[in-house]
Structure 1
């Protein structure tokens, strides 16, 4: 594994975390997004991450200064990937957006560049051909709050070169992750194959007005000693991601259609997208579920 230069495409909920974590571990990271305004928001979030790294990882100021020195910002895709050994795609969870991105990426990336998608629910085989380099394409999925939930799921498809797969396993270790190799394509990888049914069951209780989000969370937290319930997890994932997934299945799943409509009205339109915006099912910072009296 000879990676030195990594491009992270998309600076949203997970993209900015992947970029910062990779730069923190000594790689040169080009952060790509659609315009300078979005990139400016990413820079602001990097400063917020500094406090998290100090608190949770005991990061020193020198380490954080080196991290920022390893980061560069680009709204021109060709410029962002010109030296890339690896591109990690973290654009919205929408097949059309991802397909359009890979069509453009394939025209400007060097031949050496490996492409990895951070998709949480889609399969790499859906995009393998449009990348123009199916043997050098696979999924590399991270959990939210990457610096503490430090695991990486590596999943190829039928045409992924085994050496590429193994390089991504080594890269995951190099950026402080616990690598979780997956040997057969699975929608949702390992984590979301278990997590999504859990979250859907909680959303079903909310949509059908069986109970409210905080009460559902209390039931889970009290029963299993978990620090967070499903609606707290949904806030961390980001309501926009949940909305996009619901939208994908709205035509064939009545629950997903109702969920999409309610999320759009109550969360998407007012901009309450969860933890990143300070408001979702809970208010941030200091959400209720962190209170000592929440389970009393």
Structure 2
């Protein structure tokens, strides 16, 4: 059993809010920190949505929901946020300079016992270990989006992480109902994002280059039995996170397609405030996205053939 009962979540965005809510639901005392009150207010709205999901999908009672809410507090003051933390999980934007700056500010404020984990999607714990001032107590604890059903936690250490810190992190993950996925060595993208990011990037390339519509891309994926396709996943992940990841790795790897995809997401979504599921609009509109319609994967009527042929024909005319 871990001693990690007091959690501070740094960052109240999509995944930060989910981890905070789920941990409180599972009995942990949680402080949610963000740099602005507006961000915390958005997080509270998201948590109200998660409360409804936990009642409908997990069978949570009103008492369960009320108890989870009682375990949550919010603050924009970093020092008070971490003053009594057993575990701090960082879930700020996927921008190395932002993360490094936060760790440097955080280091002198932490109790000696506190373990620090990053929920970074694609970066390595060794990138930031020195900045934390406690490399032996620093590692990665990466959660998946929609944590209530994608209940996994990827645990990755760097060469300086102590075995005790790793063990406690694994115990914490199990205590909040996660399946631990241990990484045997450092890997950008871990297990999940090593295949998930290339999937989303490949799908976005089809959109950016005008090869297929988001709906048709998702249809090809959902025909396998999945209830969500890659363009729908963009909305779940959030467009800001998608842009940050593609922009960073596009520049890092000199990947022209990924940079074009990042610019597409920025221009068509981020700049317009269409940030995905939580904003109500991304590739789809919520709460009733097209991919949830009963006829989304249906065979079309024969009368639709000329319209579909015209789409293919326009491409054929260009080619010839």
Could you tell me whether the CA contact under 8 Å between 2:152 and 2:181 is conserved in 1? yes
2:154–2:182 contact (8 Å) kept in structure 1: yes
1:227 aligns with 2:227: yes
Paired with 1:259 and 1:141, the residues of 2 have a C-alpha distance of: 24
Structure 2, unmatched stretches of 5+, are: 299-320
Residue in structure 2 matched with residue 166 of structure 1 by the alignment = 167
- Provide the residue aligned with 1:274 in structure 2: 276
Match of 1:293 among 292, 295, 311: 295
Cα distance, 1:254 vs structure 2: 1.0
| Counterparts of 2:73 and 2:198, CA distance in 1 | 38
* TM-score normalised by L of structure 2: 0.90
**RMSD across aligned C-alpha pairs, in angstroms?**
0.9
Cα distance in 2 for partners of 1:203, 1:83 equals 43
Q: Deviations over 1:211-247 (max 9, x none)?
A: 111111111111x111111101111111111100121
- Match of residue 152 from structure 2: 151
The aligned residue for residue 242 of structure 2 is 242
Query: Matches of residues 122-137 of structure 1 in structure 2 within 5 Å?
Result: 122-137=123-138
The correspondence of residues 81-120 of structure 1 with structure 2, limited to 5 A, is 81-120=82-121
Alpha-carbon distance between aligned partners in 1 of 2:198 and 2:43, rounded to the nearest angstrom? 31
- How far does residue 277 in structure 1 lie from its aligned partner after superposition? 0.6
Q: Quick check: which has more Rg, 1 or 2?
A: 2
- Residues 138-174 of structure 1, C-alpha deviations (whole Å, 9 max, x = no match): 0000011111111111111111111111111110010
Distance in structure 1 (CA, Å) of the matches to 2:221 and 2:64: 38
> Cα offset for 1:249?
3.0
- Answer with 158-167 or 254-263: which moved more: 254-263
- Partner Cα separation in structure 1 for residue 275 and residue 266 of structure 2: 10
Unaligned runs of 5+ in 1: none
TM-score by length of 1: 0.98
Runs of 4+ in 1 over 3 A off after TM superposition: none
Matched residues in 2 for 1:23 and 1:275: separation? 22
Q: Distance in 2 between matches of 1:62 and 1:179?
A: 28
SS at match of 1:226: coil
> Could you report, residue by residue, the CA deviation over 1:180-227 in whole angstroms, capped at 9, with x for unpaired residues?
1112111111111121222221112111111111111111111x1111
